[in-house]
Structure 1
Amino acid sequence: MLKYLITTTALFATPLTADALRVVADIPPLHSLTAQVMGDLGTPELLTPAGTSPHNHALRPSEAARLQNADLLVWVGPLMSPWLGNAKAEMAPDAASIALMETQGTLLLDKRGAHDHDHDHDHSEEEHTETKDSHDHDHDDHTEHADHDDHADHENHGDDHAEMETDKVRKDAHVWLSPDNAMAWLPILAEELAKLDPANAETYRANAATAVDALKQQVAKTEARLAPLSGGEFLTAHDAYQYFQARFGLTSHAAVSDADDQDAGPAHLRALLTQAPDLGCFVIEPSTPKASVTLVTETLNIPAVTIDGLGAALPLGADHYSALMEHLTSGFESCLSR
């Protein structure tokens, strides 16, 4: 495998300061949350370009350099980016790493197949959800994330991945689409940054608290907008929106492909097209094949509404996550208000 040279500057780096803190995030929504916590103390970098899939991305040399030079990697976790754990271990073995999907308080939903989703609403939430109150580490005061003398616990994401894979049902990795998860992660990010940069610990914590308050207000407004639409159903090209749907009481009838973007096959699609009830729209992504969009919309006589769970077209930065929540809200409003 290609080895990336470490420069003399990196070998003889000065002690870490807020100005020198180098943070990379794997996807735009996590980049945004990290930027909110860092505030004026620094700017995180995005590891994978907007518009690329985090599932199987191959790092370009410039992206590999960002990872190699990082002090902290913020990522969803191995269920979303199975390649990233090994890349980090090889290119940035001494950097801190926080897989937010594996942190305390994270709501996890079971991954659904590309099938009729109506039955999910007949069960109690406890039957198909859990929170990561514990997962190999004691996260109560988040001290484990800051132990940079021993990275073994952090880097053993292969074992973590295996444990989650062998659960009765695999978990849906689109965890950032729950604003409740985002609110749980903001103070965790603050503590991680505080350990790396203790001189500015209180600033990180204050930034996180401000961001949580702003998101709470947005969630309340979103609830009011979407509550009247909870009775409608829609079809999705990719079952990527379950966390947002569960939080705001929306109903997906079925998906053409599952949470891993695996197509269920032509028989499943034929059944959808012949048995679908009255649906509000076909929710698609920018990458959904045009032929599939045409087939579904013309057969069912419903419009297509593009909703991108990564917000690739939205401006990158601290305001991205809020804009992403608005993008989803307005998209489902458009779908279900017709």
Structure 2
Amino acid sequence: MQQTANTKWFNRMILAGTLLTAGIAINASAAVLTSTKPLGFIASAITEGVMPVEVLLPDGASPHDYALRPSDVQKIRSADLVVWIGPDMEAFLTKPLQQVNEKKQIPLASLDSVKPLLLKGGEDDDHDAGHQEQHTDNAHNHDEHDHHHGDYNMHIWMSPDIAKQSAIAIHHKLLELMPQNKDKLDANLSQFEKQLELTKENIANIMQPLRGKGYFVFHDAYNYFEKTFGLTQLGHFTINPEIQPGAQRLHNIRTQLVEHKAVCVFAEPQFQPAVINAVAQGTNVRIGTLDPLGSKVTLGKDSYVQFLTQLSQQFTSCLE
């Protein structure tokens, strides 16, 4: 009888130890969670050798209208740190992040270091010669301005300067959470900043001959990149990739393709609308593809500079 009791006690201790070990394993697997893949690129440069990075949105999903699954909510709750742009871009994250401690999240667009670098939403259309047609189509005009994410353009990962400030913010937050990793975090940030400057110089040299060559993009997501490297977008088909452009806008773009002698019209991997082929048909305009989310870039310490380089190559391959 005594032996049986001892055996039961021993088994309970083993079970408790197993659960404790499992709990440690769960904690050890906690990660930095980013809303989109490009933010994951930036975070990965800082967390290299310290902790993993997970991306909430699957490849091919758009941050404009993503619907959270129960498993996504669990990831948000269990993450050590959540990095997102803010409610003007990822409205679907606003409610679940109300349940997360503010010390465990970074809304990048709200950072004091990022705010001065934001581009006004209205500026996006200043160089869009098709802008005037929005005032003739009330429904379409309403959709477009609703999607300007408030007053500012929220595709902030396209800006190398904002990416640098985002990396600094992630570094500082992780230092608070895990000061024991200071040396590694400091080294990672320093390496990222050096790589970013070199990459900016290389891309600027590559883009130099392309300045002044006009083109249209399907989805108005590239203003930060274009401003940084002096590219000349003539206009866009839509601000919200989920909303098809109106007939008047397509007519104006078609006219401009001829009048402005645009070199290229860009589609995206996530959106290959037939309207692009239809509008470009019968013109000398080439059709290219831009990937604003870096869907084929693998997360890693060099992934953000790889993303920028890939984007520059996609512009070059069509505009040259």
- Partner residue, 1:266: 247
Q: Which of these residues, 33, 42, 67, is aligned with residue 58 of structure 1?
A: 67
1:63–1:118 Cα change, 3 Å: closer
Q: Deviations over 1:205-224 (max 9, x none)?
A: 22111111111101100001
Rg larger for = 2
Q: Within 1, Cα distance between the matches of 2:77 and 2:48?
A: 23
**Structure 1 segments unaligned to the other structure (5+ residues):** 1-8, 120-164
Is residue 214 of structure 1 aligned with residue 204 of structure 2?
no
Q: Which of these residues, 75, 79, 83, is aligned with residue 84 of structure 2?
A: 75
Is residue 48 of structure 1 aligned with residue 53 of structure 2?
no
| Conserved? CA contact 1:112–1:259, under 8 Å | no
CA shift, 1:114, in A, is: 8.1
CA shift, 1:332, in A, is: 1.1
Q: Within 2, Cα distance between the matches of 1:10 and 1:219?
A: 49
> Is the helix fraction higher in 1 or 2?
2
% identity of equivalent residues: 30
Question: Given residue 98 of structure 1, which amino acid in structure 2 is its aligned partner?
Answer: I
- Partner residue, 1:37: 46
Q: Within 2, Cα distance between the matches of 1:87 and 1:79?
A: 15
Q: Within 2, Cα distance between the matches of 1:256 and 1:114?
A: 12
Q: Within 1, Cα distance between the matches of 2:203 and 2:105?
A: 32
| Conserved? CA contact 2:81–2:104, under 8 Å | yes
Question: Given residue 108 of structure 1, which amino acid in structure 2 is its aligned partner?
Answer: L
Q: Within 1, Cα distance between the matches of 2:54 and 2:28?
A: 14
CA shift, 1:320, in A, is: 2.4
1:237–1:94 Cα change, 3 Å: closer
How many residue pairs get aligned? The number is: 282
Q: Within 1, Cα distance between the matches of 2:57 and 2:246?
A: 30
Q: Within 2, Cα distance between the matches of 1:286 and 1:220?
A: 27
Q: Within 1, Cα distance between the matches of 2:286 and 2:122?
A: 24
Q: Map 1:290-309 to 2 at 5 A.
A: 290-309=273-292
When normalised by structure 2's length, the TM-score is 0.79
Q: Secondary structure at the match of 2:281?
A: helix
Q: Within 2, Cα distance between the matches of 1:116 and 1:272?
A: 15
**Structure 2 segments unaligned to the other structure (5+ residues):** 1-17, 130-145
- Partner residue, 1:84: 93
- Partner residue, 1:330: 313
Q: Deviations over 1:25-46 (max 9, x none)?
A: 1111111211111111110111
| Conserved? CA contact 1:240–1:259, under 8 Å | no
| Conserved? CA contact 2:128–2:236, under 8 Å | no
Q: Secondary structure at the match of 1:50?
A: coil
When normalised by structure 1's length, the TM-score is 0.75
Q: Within 2, Cα distance between the matches of 1:213 and 1:22?
A: 25
Q: Map 1:169-180 to 2 at 5 A.
A: 170-180=151-161
Q: Within 1, Cα distance between the matches of 2:168 and 2:157?
A: 15
- Partner residue, 1:281: 264
Q: Within 2, Cα distance between the matches of 1:189 and 1:111?
A: 26
| Conserved? CA contact 1:230–1:250, under 8 Å | yes
Q: Deviations over 1:234-272 (max 9, x none)?
A: 011111100000000001001111267654511111011
| Conserved? CA contact 1:111–1:259, under 8 Å | no
